[in-house]
Chains A and B, each alone.
Chain A
Amino acid sequence: MAQLDPRSDEALVEAANRGDEGAFEALYRRHRDWVVRLAFRFTGSEADALDVLQDTFAYLLRKFPGLRLTSRLTTFLYPVVKHLAIRAARKRRQHASGDQALSEAQAPDAPSQPREELAAVLRVLPEAQREVLLMRFVDDMGLRQIAEALDVPLGTVKSRLHNALKALRKDERTRAYFLE
């Protein structure tokens, strides 16, 4: 396995702008798993997620030289992955029953009962709230990062997150999480 590159995303982007192929590879290795997981979350299909992975990095590649990274690379890539994944999911839905494909993309199988209930509550959460919740607690993105990735005001992000947690607290299936 190649040694991890210690340079920051910004430094790697600058190096790639100068034609450093190794810097691009380092960016790929660093963010590959995040991209494919995010793609899977939107598509619900491993095959589609792998296609989105390749398309995402093809998109990133076309940005060099000249890419100016003003935030973390994940912030930059989030809308790209989302857009490509939704497009892939839409294509798949055209060949499958709409509701089935959509619900698979919303929440995965939950082997244990609490998680089953959590998955069920998340399914009925408004999409905007669910998205912010997952970006915050699964993708480990900060609020400002989320705002930038979604291109919405910071206040909107805070409001969506607050309402998502409030809904989980109110729902009897997930209330137990908040009783500790």
Chain B
Amino acid sequence: MGNTANHPDGTGPEAPKALSDDLWSLYRSRVHVPPEVDRAVLEMARSRFAGRRRSVLVLRWATVGAAAAALLLALSLMVQQERPLAPRIPSTRPEAAVRQDVDGNGRVDILDAFALARHIEARDKRRHEWDVNGDGDVNQADVDTVAMAAVSLEKGTLQ
């Protein structure tokens, strides 16, 4: 009881044993901590640590999701890059090439064929310029014409 020995953490003036014993007795009064106080503190801790674990899990899944999305994007870019860009249609372009550029991005490529096919499938209001083959109708034949043109362009020839 009491502390009169030299404390390992730095020297300092000492107190007589009787004095430190009486100080202990005066101030080391026991305060009873009811079990419900312990429970309240530990429940608070449980709740906080559980919340942290949930946040870590959510973050982990979000990170995995972001990584997967980045990987898919990279793969799709690689696939795109393997197919050479279709040459830009020159400003003085023939009428046929203008019609074949369905999406109006200045290039005739397979995406124009897809765009035309979607318009036909969606039964969008027919536009004159979609009659690529000039037969008076807008149908699968025009999609095929655009697709053939896209392939021809990629081969370096211009129809």
Q: Chain A: residues with CB nearer than 8 A to chain B?
A: 19, 21, 24-25, 28, 32-33, 36-37, 39-41, 46, 49-50, 53-54, 57-58, 61, 64-65, 107-108, 110, 114-115, 118-119, 122, 133-134, 136-138, 140-145, 154, 157-158, 161-162, 165, 168, 174, 177-178, 180
Contact = CB atoms under 8 A, between A and B. Distances in A.
Given A118-B22, A144-B9, A65 B33 contact: no
Interface residues of B, number: 40
A118 B23 contact: yes
A115 B12 contact: no
22 contacts: A19-B56, A21-B46, A24-B45, A28-B38, A33-B31, A50-B31, A107-B26, A114-B22, A118-B22, A136-B3, A136-B15, A137-B19, A138-B23, A138-B24, A140-B3, A142-B7, A142-B9, A158-B13, A161-B12, A165-B13, A165-B15, A177-B16
B25 A115 contact: yes
Contacts of A145: 9
Contacts of B11: 143
A174 B18 CA distance: 11
Contacts, number: 124
A103 B34 CA distance: 26
B110 to A, nearest CB: 52
B26 A115 contact: yes
A85 B156 CA distance: 85
Given A61-B44, A143-B10, 13 more contacts: A19-B53, A32-B38, A49-B31, A54-B44, A64-B52, A122-B26, A136-B12, A138-B24, A143-B7, A154-B10, A177-B18, A177-B19, A178-B19
